[in-house]
Amino acid sequence: MAKERKAFSNLMKAIERGEFVYTGELEPHRSIDLSDVKDWATTLKNTGKIIAANVTDNPRSDSAISSLVAAYIVQRDTGLETVYQLRTADRNRLALLSDILGAAALGLRNILALTGDHTKIGTTPAAKPVFDFDSAHLVALIHNLVYEGKDLDGNEVHGPKPEINVGVAGNPNMDPLEAEVLKLERKAEVGADFVQTQVIFDVEVARRFLKAVEHIGIPVLIGIFPPRSYGQASFFDKYVPGVTVPEEFLEAFKKFKEIEDKERRKEKINEYNVEYFVNFIKEVKKEKACAGIHIMAVGYPDVIGPIIEGVEK
Amino acid sequence: MIITKEKPVEEILSYIEPYKSVLVVGCDGCVQPPRGLREAEKLASMIEMARKAKGQEVKVAATTVTRQCCIEGLRNQINVDGYEAVVSMACGIGVQVLTMVFPEVQTFPAQNTVFIGYEEKREGNMYEACVACGDCMLGYTGGICPVARCAKSLMNGPCGGCVEGKCEVEVEIRDWKGEVVEVVKNDCAWYLIFNRLKEIGRLDLYRMYRPPKNWALATGPRRL
């Protein structure tokens, strides 16, 4: 069902070689100072296992520096490949085309095509939201530019065609799941190369999703977020749409909260995260559709290396 | 029907402050809640009382027409001679057509035009359901419009903001003063579409890729 695809990015090439890949996440702020973002990118790169990192675009409609610029600067200065997140909430089809060509000209090779949260829930709720395209249209536009050298109106791109792989978001927590599966079929039909999912804690949810989308033939990176505290874990459970954290996980973190010695508490949390997510990844890795893991925990370097090493052991 | 809300009376009074004679014109057309003769008379007496209280003399009268959006009808049905200002109880179209037909007087709006919609019951909640996009896609979406009823007007929804069938975007229900009386979450239009198409055995319509919308058809001002 998925369209024939070429691999342009390191990420896509590794997936095509059958490697189990890991991606990370970078969240630039409403600032022109990208030093902390670059530091985190360097940490991710130094694990030696993270092949690329997503650069978020106005997440939660909280305004931030251009993700195109941040993705370029990070890739240039740290050598870590970036996945440029691009949302249709803020740009019409002309602006999207401009940014896609701009990204390709700057040497970016991955775009994650997103619709994006509604502007009304963000920092600037009075903004006029765009939504001229949705994420499926953005995928179709990128695919047309890459393979036909034309936009969706048939306007030709002069010179070489852009070389970009396009990813999409998947929502394993969608109820009913059938609605999400059909939606992914739709996105694959118009040219999506890979999927990165929302955060999942429950291995059963991940497994159910991977089985349900296997027939599409699209590689899936399962999203995880090792929490640093009970507060973070219960935040996901309570406030992140559709995400449930298993009871035993929350119980364990509740107990860690009671440990008074800060270092000791941190150590326990790290140990638990490593054990939990190593087992989680080993399980989801067995599924044919699972091509890798997308680690969303920003600024929590202590566990990323050990988790990956634990899986590979 | 076109849903409108009454403007605060202070705003209407401020528009007509310089004028000594005012005609309030209702509309018996599609504007909802009704803004016919009864409502026009009510507004006229409010204006009269407010001006009297300030010791400012004013001549106010009320009338209504079949539809304020018809130029010919307006010409035949009302006469603004002897008035310095007109207050329209209709939608934004009515205000503009009155201005066109009677350029010699200034017409002011008494209503905020909110949306095209339907109502639960008489004097119940009003719901937006059509944005007059010019390219109706209801045939592909189980008779539920994602252009009007999805906060993002998605062609290929639902998005990740659909949780338990509800939209991530909260909407404020406001009273006639514009004050928020309740904050609610709407049903996710694409959740409704999925369920409807599943119910009638047409998930093929849900599964299909719908290309980008031709917004040129909705670029105004439009003419037919």
> In the predicted model, is pLDDT for residue B177 greater than 90?
no
Q: Please tell me if residue B223 touches chain A, with a CB cutoff of 8 Å.
A: no
Residue with structure tokens 């949390």?
Answer: A269
Q: What is the pLDDT of residue B134?
A: 85
Angle between helix axes A67-78 and A93-105 (nearest 10 degrees) is 10
pLDDT tens digits, B19-68: 999 999 999 999 988 999 999 999 999 999 999 999 999 999 999 999 99
Q: Please tell me if residue B153 touches chain A, with a CB cutoff of 8 Å.
A: yes
Q: Which residues of A touch B186 (CB under 8 A)?
A: none
A121·B168 Cβ contact <8 A: yes
Task: Give me the residues of B, 23-82, that contact A with CB < 8 A.
Answer: none
Domain spans of chain A?
10-228+284-312
Q: For A194-209, give the DSSP string.
A: EEEEEE---HHHHHHH
Cα distance between residue A211 and residue A289, in whole Å: 7
- A234 phi and psi angles, rounded to 5 deg: -75, -25
Catalogue all structural domains in chain B, each as residue range(s) with its CATH number: 2-114 (3.40.50.2300), 133-210 (no CATH)
Nearest CA in chain B to A182: B207
| For residues B165-185, average pLDDT | 87
Q: Which residues of B touch A169 (CB under 8 A)?
A: 160
A261 token code pair: 């010695």
Q: Which residues of B touch A89 (CB under 8 A)?
A: 152
Q: How far apart are the first and last CA of chain B?
A: 20
B156·A136 Cβ contact <8 A: yes
Q: What is the pLDDT of residue A2?
A: 64
Nearest CA in chain A to B208: A186
CATH architecture classification, A10-228+284-312: Alpha-Beta Barrel (3.20)
Query: What H or E segment, with its residue span, contains residue A56?
Result: none
Cα distance between residue A242 and residue A175, in whole Å: 8
In a structure prediction context, what are the per-residue pLDDT tens digits for chain A, which is 313 residues long?
667 789 999 999 999 999 999 999 999 999 999 999 999 999 999 999 999 999 999 999 999 999 999 999 999 999 999 999 999 999 999 999 999 999 999 999 999 999 999 999 999 999 999 999 999 999 999 999 999 999 999 999 999 999 999 999 999 999 899 999 999 999 999 999 999 999 999 999 999 999 999 999 999 999 999 999 999 999 988 887 678 899 999 999 999 999 999 999 999 999 999 999 999 999 999 999 999 999 998 888 889 999 999 998 8
Which alpha helices (H) appear in A160-313, and where do they start and end? Answer: 177-189, 203-213, 230-239, 247-257, 262-285, 301-312
Q: Please tell me if residue B206 touches chain A, with a CB cutoff of 8 Å.
A: yes
Are the beta carbons of B9 and B78 closer than 8 angstroms?
Answer: no
A115·B206 Cβ contact <8 A: no
Q: What is the pLDDT of residue A298?
A: 80
Asked whether the bond before B158 is cis by omega within 30 degrees of 0, the reply is yes
CA distance to partner chain A, nearest, from residue B51 (Å): 36
Cα distance between residue B4 and residue B174, in whole Å: 12
Q: Which residues of A touch B184 (CB under 8 A)?
A: none
> In the predicted model, is pLDDT for residue B179 greater than 70?
yes
Question: What SS3 state is found at B29?
Answer: coil
Q: What is the pLDDT of residue B201?
A: 92
The backbone region for A149, taken as left when phi is positive above 0, alpha when psi lies in -120 to 50, beta otherwise, is left
Q: How many CB atoms lie within 10 A of CB A90?
A: 19
Q: What is the pLDDT of residue A239?
A: 83
pTM equals: 0.89
CA distance to partner chain B, nearest, from residue A176 (Å): 9
